[in-house]
Amino acid sequence: MYSFKVLHIWNTAGVASVLAKFTDRLFGVRSVVHRKAFDPYGLTTYGELWDCGAKEFVLRCLLLARRFDIIHIHSLDKLVPLLKLLYPKKPIVLHYHGSDIRNKWSLRLKYWSKADAILYTTPDLLNQDTPTRAVYLPNPVDTDLFRKLPEIHREPRSALAFQKLVDKDRVERYAQELGLSVVFLEPRIPHLMMPETLNKYEYYIDQTQIPSLSKTALEALACGLKVVRWDGAVLQGLPEEHKPNNVLNKLVAIYEYLLNS
């Protein structure tokens, strides 16, 4: 059983909570998720929320980091140089999640160049400016939470899409082509209520602007929905690469490599 301790800083899209939860469960690693109180929909299902301002949050993270073997930073790349200055021998993992780095690799060079490992979550983030050492780590899905709920009636030929995340005309065209009745909701549903919401529908129509599946689309697949992706193709079943134990096997191998280098 592994014994190193990981500190996750920030919790973009709730990914840090999922990683910490399943790392602890599968590998016995004491992981902690920390994020300031900026989580209106309850994505931090595992870890702590700090009710403090930005400066206090950074200071607390810098102080707390001394107690951990690995620092895993999500999106907040400006912390990397500070942490490296204070703890030059501690491995720092920098994890990008989407708009934080999309088409910005050159702009963020002074931050990610200081990290010991760089991760990114969706294939569309890879371009000619992406550093060769950056590693694609698929988004994990909390399969404890997102699963089929047979007690909930799933309306046949029904589809769900979230307003503000989609081109409404394109969604309606996809729905018409597939013979679906589509419902548009505001993306303001508490995270713990999302499985129940998703399970009411047969289809989920994902965001239409980026050629990668959103985390919500992956969660819908885990709940047994068919997902209509950005180009109209229909997917079914959560891909193996997004199942938490497979993501964690890859991540822990990276952690071990950093600690043994």
For residues 150 and 138, give the distance between their C-alpha atoms in angstroms, rounded to a whole number.
28
Average pLDDT, the chain: 94
pLDDT at 2: 66
Residues 10 and 16: beta-carbon distance below 8 Å? yes
pLDDT at 208: 86
pLDDT for 121 beyond 60: yes
For residues 34 and 22, give the distance between their C-alpha atoms in angstroms, rounded to a whole number.
16
| CA dist 57 → 9, 15, 131, 147 (Å) | 10, 19, 29, 34
Residue 248 structure tokens: 């964690």
pLDDT at 165: 81
| CA dist 42 → 32, 46, 193, 197 (Å) | 16, 10, 10, 15
pLDDT at 216: 97
Q: Which helix (H) or strand (E) holds 205?
A: strand 201-205
SS (H, E, C) 107-164: CCHHHHCCCCEEEECCHHHCCCCCCCCCEECCCCCCCCCCCCCCCCCCEEEEEEEECC
Q: What is the pLDDT of residues 58-98, one digit of tens each?
A: 999 999 999 999 999 999 999 999 999 999 999 999 999 99
| CA dist 121 → 48, 125, 152, 189 (Å) | 23, 8, 31, 23
Q: Domains, the chain, ranges and CATH?
A: 5-139+244-260 (3.40.50.2000), 155-240 (3.40.50)
How much of the chain, in percent, has pLDDT values that exceed 70?
A: 98
pTM of the model: 0.95
For residues 120 and 122, give the distance between their C-alpha atoms in angstroms, rounded to a whole number.
6
Q: What is the pLDDT of residues 134-193, one digit of tens each?
A: 999 999 999 999 999 999 999 999 999 999 888 999 999 999 999 999 999 998 899 999
Nearest one of 60, 59, 65, 64 to 88, comparing CA atoms:
65
Strand 234-236, strand 226-228: pairing: antiparallel
